[in-house]
Amino acid sequence: MEIRIRQAERGDLHELARLFDAYRQFYDQASDVAGAREFLRERMDARQSLVIVAEGEDSLVGFAQLYPMFSSVRMAPIWILNDLYVDADVRRLGIGRLLLEASAAAARGAGAGRIVLETARENLAARALYLSAGWEEESTQWYSLDLAAPETVN
C-alpha cells in the first residue's frame, strides 16, 4: 500500500472526522462524528493545531494532531503531539512511524526545540512505537485537574 503523508486540508474534514471519532472511541469516549468534525474545523480554521494525515489509495488511514505551546525554561516553542491514530486494519505497516517523523519535521520546521506526548502506561503498542522511533520515556509525572468535574474541594 502506498501512503502519502501531508498536512490536512479543509476538504479532508469528512474523512478526518471519522478517524478522529474512532480515536476518541479508543479512549472510551462516545461516538460523535459531527462533534469531531466541528472540533477539527475550529482548530484548523483558527490555526490552533496542525493536523497531518496519512492518505492511502482511496482514503485517509491515519492522522496526527499537534498543538503549539511554549517552554518558559527553554524560552522556546515546544509542540505537543496530542493525537496519533492509524486505522486498525492498516496498523503495523509503518504508518504510525511515518506520522511521527512528519510530526517531528513539522515541529522542527516551525522552530520548536522539543516535541512531547503523553500516553497511557498500558498502551504498550504505542509506547513500543515511540521508543523504536527514538523517543525517550521521562520520569516526570503529569498531574491533571478536571475543570468540568464538580468541585470536590471546599
Confidence band, pLDDT 50/70/90 cuts, at residue 55: very high
Distance, C-alpha 99 to centroid of its chain = 9
- The number of folded domains in the chain is 1
CATH of the domain at 106: 3.40.630.30
Domain-embedded: residue 139: no
**84 pLDDT higher than 80:** yes
* The model's pTM: 0.86
Q: Please, are residues 115 and 104 in contact by the beta-carbon 8 Å criterion?
A: yes
Domain-embedded: residue 118: yes
Domain-embedded: residue 148: no
Domain-embedded: residue 150: no
Q: Which domain holds residue 126?
A: 4-132
36-57: average pLDDT: 96
Domain-embedded: residue 55: yes
Domain-embedded: residue 16: yes
Q: Which residues are within 8 A (CB) of 26 and not within 5 positions of it... i.e. 6 or more apart? A: 85
Q: Which residues are within 8 A (CB) of 16 and not within 5 positions of it... i.e. 6 or more apart? A: 8, 37, 40, 51, 53, 60, 63
**48 pLDDT higher than 60:** yes
Domain-embedded: residue 50: yes
**150 pLDDT higher than 80:** no
Domain-embedded: residue 88: yes
**109 pLDDT higher than 70:** yes
